[in-house]
Amino acid sequence: MIGIQKLFQKKEPIAPSIDLERIPAHIAIMMDGNGRWAKKRQLPRVMGHRAGVEAIRDVIRTASDLGVRYLTLYAFSTENWNRPAEEVTALMDLLSEYMKKEIAELHRNQVRVNTIGNLTRLTDKARQDVEAAMAMTVDNTGLCINFALNYGGRDEMVRGINALAQKVQQGELVPGEITEELMTDHLDTRGIPDPELLIRTSGEQRLSNFLLWQSAYTEFWFPEVYWPDFTGKHLIEGIKVFQNRNRRFGGL
């Protein structure tokens, strides 16, 4: 990997083409196309995932520079367990490697590491390294990165509904008292604003079980670029697209 000291190194001024007063507070990214990037270069799929980790660095730096408050990255879905065992193992190892190599620099720059999803199914090593990163950065006040790990929108809602049902069963809650706000408070993203902008790279145009509840009024952008080639400049382009949208939220 590139030395972590380059993560927050200033490269050039933030593009003047966007309004810095209207930066989305929460941007979600589906990091898609790693395998196709590798196939195009006749490389093993794992090399595409490794190249994708490099792309994360520049995107985090840019998001932090712009003042984005939350950046949610779809790193491993509940469906990804269906991939070949060797690829799953490589992804778990890569997750551990990322956390150990990048966490010191992230911490120095006040970035907070958070997760959404069910961590219990991760390998012990991956889970421990992720939990260590969260513990180290828990009090940081800068950009919050939400790594979606073993995450699925439907699974998240089922877990939230089960938690509410248990409260009803215990007499702590009456069914008629369940509101959208209460449901939101029982999701993995409780306390985090809904994403204003969701980006899926590689040109695919579907949600693939990502932030289903939270994306009710999210703006979508589907650039054709594969994730390993995605840079901070692309993120700025996506924000520019977002700022040119007319967000009516059902009104006129």
Q: Which of 19, 58, 80, 155 is catalytic?
A: 80
Domain ranges in the chain are 22-152+194-243
Span 199-224, pLDDT tens digits: 999 999 999 999 999 999 999 999 99
Q: Name the CATH topology of 22-152+194-243.
A: Undecaprenyl pyrophosphate synthetase (3.40.1180)
pTM of the model: 0.92
Span 123-157, pLDDT tens digits: 999 999 999 999 999 999 999 999 999 999 999 99
32 catalytic residue (yes or no):
yes
110 token code pair: 């006040």
The two most distant CA atoms of the chain are separated, in Å, by 59
- What integer is the mean pLDDT of 174-194? 96
58 catalytic residue (yes or no):
no
SS (H, E, C) the chain: CCCHHHCCCCCCCCCCCCCHHHCCCEEEEECCCHHHHHHHCCCCHHHHHHHHHHHHHHHHHHHHHHCCCEEEEEEEEHHHHHCCHHHHHHHHHHHHHHHHHHHHHHHHCCCEEEEECCHHHCCHHHHHHHHHHHHHHCCCCCCEEEEEEEECHHHHHHHHHHHHHHHHHCCCCCHHHCCHHHHHCCCCCCCCCCCCEEEEHHHCCCCCCCCCCCCCCCEEECCCCCHHHCCHHHHHHHHHHHHCCCCCCCCC
